[in-house]
Structure 1
Amino acid sequence: MAISYWSLCLLAPLLWFMRRILSKGHAHPLPPGPSGLPLIGNVLDFPRRDHYKMYTKWAMKYGGIVHARSFGQSVIVINDIKVATAMLDKKGSLYSDRPVLQMCCELVGWKNTLVMQRAHGSRLKEMRKAIHGLIGTPGATARHYALFEGETRALLRRVLRDPRGVKESIRRTAGSIILMLAYGYTTMEKDDPIERIADHAMSQFGELSRPGAYLVDVLPVLRYIPAWVPGAKFKRTADNCYKTLQDMANIPFRIAKKELDGGTAYPSFVTTHMEGKDLSEENKHRIKWAAASLYAGGADSTVSTVYTFYLAMTLFPELQRKAQKDIDDVVGNDRLPSFADRANLPYVEALYREVLRWRPAAPLGIPHAVTDDEIHDGYNIPKGSIVVVNVRHILHDAAIYTNPDVFDPDRFIAKEGKVAEKDPRACIFGFGRRICPGLHLGDATVWIAIATTLAVFDVSKTMENGCEITPSGKYFDGIVIHPEPFKCEIKPRSAQAQALILAE
């Protein structure tokens, strides 16, 4: 239910009155930003898609911290890594909350997942602690390297069989890893029902959380109107999305619990936290949603990043050859790269980091919310403000990265008289107390997919009617962005490479 012109006209007087009643003066100014219109603020300034582009324009005009307003709701946009660190890392307790999204969180139920969990109460801390034990450190994540390498070999075989379906193969591999870690669930090779439900829920999340998509996020009282009322289609949409999300959380959890009770369960996050324990319903609820959060927090961004890698290799074949030489010199041609080789493959590492920087999967991260009024650098940051970090802009800041719009892995390799540029992982996984708990998982699974693909495949532009087809490089919008489908050629580098792909 998009916000229409007439909706704005009806809402404006009420919101103006509420603002007059509730507002109060403050000795410190708000951060600079666009002036907006009376009553509705900057609502008309926010674009329908690619918000980071507008925020980048604001950064050029107003600086590293910008204030905007939407119907009285303060929005703080951070466009500078130093500001993000000073506010979200060093004062993490003030910036650890999530905004209340009526449609996504309250009506559909995404508030139960870790990514949208509110900061108050103990559940956030308990869920993060549980996941930390599984993948929260490099050592804990390393225990699963054999799984990652095995599933990545399956990815290579899928791509060999169906190079046109590379994105679907990436998605299947990312889902298989998460479902095995979370539930000990082995996915079917084709059309797995659990993966299908989870992917559908993630697709819905992208739409539900899109700014300005639903009027109920602006006027929360609308959540109480009956579904039959004209204009209340959003209630029926919410009911449908609620069912999908519940299925995503409940179905694999029940399978894991049934196998645990029957003594046939494969070790997983769920079995670790339930085996031999008499748990309260609250603790079962926490474990169930923590497990669901593993998929919600990791699979989609992994798919985006690995598909972006294929796009980059299609567009920049000369850099692909440099990375392949790195592998050939260190690993050779008679085996696949492993995690044990990572420290000895500097150009592959640099290329991986450049993929992360060039097109970050979540260009604005996940929004934070301020738990109390505070003053930062002389500016008033009101309680309840939504705080957004413009990750895309930071990773394309010419003050940090030389020629930032150019795809150049060499920027991350130190040379005589030149230090390596800033590692993008300091930004893309979030900040403060809401930093992604699966950052080591994401780092490992994306790196091994890139390294093994480079070892055995050549990725290039496709030819049609004698003409070379260059991908547009456009992306679908969302909290997690994805390259629009593009054509490319993916072929084994040699007969020996093909034999490595097919070897079990």
Structure 2
Amino acid sequence: MLFTVIFLSLVVLVTLAIVVRNYVATRKHPPLPPGPPADPVIGHLRVIPSQNIGEHFHEWAKVYGEIMHLHCLGRNMIILDSVEAATELLDKRGAIHSCRPKFTVFEMMGWTSALTLLQYDKRFLKHRRMLHEFLNQHTCLDYIPIQTEEARSLVMRLAEDPEKFAHHLNRFSAAVILRVSYGQRITTDEDPFLEMAEDVSRAVNNAGPPGNTPVDFFPWCKR
């Protein structure tokens, strides 16, 4: 009986917290783009698909436009369904819109120093400038021979053992990145760098959709 009372009290408190958060958020922000109908409190939680999410968003875009708004448990999401919209907002207006949400699950995994997870601040801009020196449209031409050589090796491995296509693709990606970044070649399937890359890939997949895990919505769960 006591457990039931405590559980119901927690449910009520969490629900009230979400309602208050949603109310404050709507008062702070200007009008947001259109989107599908949402439920009270949980927002679009029930209608956001767990699979083929891009295809579902594309179908919604035919109704609500190429820029859509979704919210789930108090978190707002802007969905861009066209190259034009993405270029306009993330490239031409990148100084205003190019930022990332806080990924609590990746923070717990110790990956917040990775460029792909950094917030759009001075540290991010510094790292991006450093990478741009070696990955701009001119210097990338120097890497074509590496990509071509590894692509040929990929085709040969696919022909020899097509059942392991996922492994072959992982090896191809890791081989190109390692050769471009460090000049390190992957010569066997037992290469420690390849195993490390596959471990990282599995960890990301097992962590769940970026930004949509329970701990991302309720950061206090990590404690």
Shared fold (TM-score greater than 0.5)?
yes
For 1:196, the equivalent position in structure 2 comes to 195
Q: Shift of residue 125 of structure 1?
A: 2.0
Q: Shift of residue 21 of structure 1?
A: 5.1
Higher RCO structure, 1 or 2 (CA under 8 Å, sep 6+): 1
Render the CA deviation track for 1:91-130: whole Å, top value 9, x for unaligned: 11111111111112x2112321111211112x22222222
Q: Distance in 2 between matches of 1:156 and 1:54?
A: 33
For 2:124, the equivalent position in structure 1 comes to 124
For 1:147, the equivalent position in structure 2 comes to 146
Q: Distance in 1 between matches of 2:109 and 2:211?
A: 17
Residue segments in structure 2 that go unaligned for 5+ positions in a row: 1-7
For 1:215, the equivalent position in structure 2 comes to 214
Q: Distance in 2 between matches of 1:18 and 1:214?
A: 19
Distance 1:220 1:165, change over 3 A: closer
For 2:101, the equivalent position in structure 1 comes to 99
Q: Distance in 1 between matches of 2:189 and 2:66?
A: 47
* Corresponding residue pairs, total: 215
Preserved contact between residue 35 and residue 70 of structure 2 (Cα < 8 Å) = yes
Preserved contact between residue 207 and residue 213 of structure 1 (Cα < 8 Å) = no
For 1:114, the equivalent position in structure 2 comes to 115
Preserved contact between residue 111 and residue 118 of structure 1 (Cα < 8 Å) = no
Distance 1:135 1:202, change over 3 A: same
For 2:134, the equivalent position in structure 1 comes to 134
For 2:15, the equivalent position in structure 1 comes to 12
Distance 1:193 1:25, change over 3 A: closer
How do residues 402-413 of structure 1 correspond to structure 2 at under 5 angstroms?
none
How do residues 471-490 of structure 1 correspond to structure 2 at under 5 angstroms?
none
For 1:36, the equivalent position in structure 2 comes to 38
Secondary structure, aligned partner of 1:67: strand
1:14 is aligned with what amino acid?
Answer: A
Preserved contact between residue 102 and residue 211 of structure 2 (Cα < 8 Å) = no
Preserved contact between residue 101 and residue 211 of structure 2 (Cα < 8 Å) = no
How do residues 115-264 of structure 1 correspond to structure 2 at under 5 angstroms?
115-121=116-122, 123-137=123-137, 139-208=138-207, 210=209, 214-223=213-222, 225=223
Q: Distance in 2 between matches of 1:73 and 1:57?
A: 22
Q: Distance in 1 between matches of 2:49 and 2:38?
A: 14
Distance 1:10 1:49, change over 3 A: farther
Render the CA deviation track for 1:418-467: whole Å, top value 9, x for unaligned: xxxxxxxxxxxxxxxxxxxxxxxxxxxxxxxxxxxxxxxxxxxxxxxxxx
Q: Distance in 2 between matches of 1:143 and 1:134?
A: 10
Distance 1:72 1:188, change over 3 A: same
Q: Shift of residue 65 of structure 1?
A: 1.8
Residue segments in structure 1 that go unaligned for 5+ positions in a row: 1-5, 226-504
Q: Distance in 2 between matches of 1:119 and 1:92?
A: 10
Preserved contact between residue 42 and residue 74 of structure 2 (Cα < 8 Å) = yes
The alignment's C-alpha RMSD in Å is 2.7
Secondary structure, aligned partner of 2:38: coil
Are 1:69 and 2:71 an aligned pair?
A: yes
Distance 1:150 1:89, change over 3 A: closer
Distance 1:194 1:59, change over 3 A: same
Q: Shift of residue 167 of structure 1?
A: 3.9
For 1:492, the equivalent position in structure 2 comes to none
The one of 67, 83, 86 equivalent to 1:84 is 86
Secondary structure, aligned partner of 1:169: helix
Secondary structure, aligned partner of 1:44: coil
Q: Shift of residue 131 of structure 1?
A: 2.1
For 1:24, the equivalent position in structure 2 comes to 27
Q: Shift of residue 84 of structure 1?
A: 2.7
Secondary structure, aligned partner of 2:46: helix
Q: Distance in 2 between matches of 1:179 and 1:194?
A: 8
1:13 is aligned with what amino acid?
Answer: L
Distance 1:130 1:45, change over 3 A: same
Larger Rg: 1 or 2?
Answer: 1
Q: Distance in 1 between matches of 2:62 and 2:156?
A: 46
Q: Shift of residue 160 of structure 1?
A: 4.5
Distance 1:209 1:20, change over 3 A: same
Q: Distance in 1 between matches of 2:28 and 2:182?
A: 52
Secondary structure, aligned partner of 2:112: helix
More helix by share: 2
- TM-score w.r.t. structure 1 length? 0.39
Preserved contact between residue 103 and residue 211 of structure 2 (Cα < 8 Å) = no
Render the CA deviation track for 1:300-338: whole Å, top value 9, x for unaligned: xxxxxxxxxxxxxxxxxxxxxxxxxxxxxxxxxxxxxxx
Distance 1:191 1:34, change over 3 A: same
Secondary structure, aligned partner of 2:69: strand
Q: Shift of residue 20 of structure 1?
A: 3.9
Q: Distance in 2 between matches of 1:65 and 1:44?
A: 20
- TM-score w.r.t. structure 2 length? 0.81
Preserved contact between residue 101 and residue 209 of structure 1 (Cα < 8 Å) = no
Render the CA deviation track for 1:206-262: whole Å, top value 9, x for unaligned: 343505753111111222x2xxxxxxxxxxxxxxxxxxxxxxxxxxxxxxxxxxxxx
